[in-house]
Amino acid sequence: MLRLIVLSVIQSFCLAAGQVFLKLAMNKMTAFSWTWNYFQNLLTNWWFLATGIAMGSATVLWLHILKQYPLSSAYPMTCMSFVFGMFAAMFLLHESIPFTRWIGVACIIIGVIFVAK
């Protein structure tokens, strides 16, 4: 079970990192349009490349986790990405997090602990 927890933490971190990178990529983009120029700018955006690397890593790791562990144990562990995402929003993006969201994060952590036992 410890191995599943470690792999799930890494996979969840990659998922959250991918979402943060995507947010940073979109912050650098102009308003969306169906033009070649927009997609050319997107494909030359380094944050967008980082998104692909992080999400690709998370997917490959998820494939390994699914092959080795029961879905009923593995899938709830992915909720840790929400926790990592909240901390990234607070520390990296300087977003304010309301108290009610912190209650939700506490519920997620408690749920992951129950699943891990």
Asked if the model's pLDDT at residue 56 lies above 90, the reply is: yes
Distance between CA atoms of residues 36 and 34, nearest Å: 7
Q: Where are the domains of the chain?
A: 2-116
CB 15 within 8 A of CB 58: yes
Query: Which CB contacts under 8 angstroms, 24+ apart, belong to 113-117?
Result: 115/73, 115/76, 115/77, 116/1, 116/4, 116/5, 116/77
Average pLDDT, the chain: 93
User: Considering just the CA atoms, what is the radius of gyration of the chain in Å?
Assistant: 16
Helix (H) or strand (E) holding 114: helix 99-116
- 26: confidence class by pLDDT, cuts 50, 70, 90: very high
pTM here? 0.87
CB 21 within 8 A of CB 52: no
- Measured in whole angstroms, the distance separating CA 102 from the mean position of its chain's CA atoms is 17
- 41: confidence class by pLDDT, cuts 50, 70, 90: confident
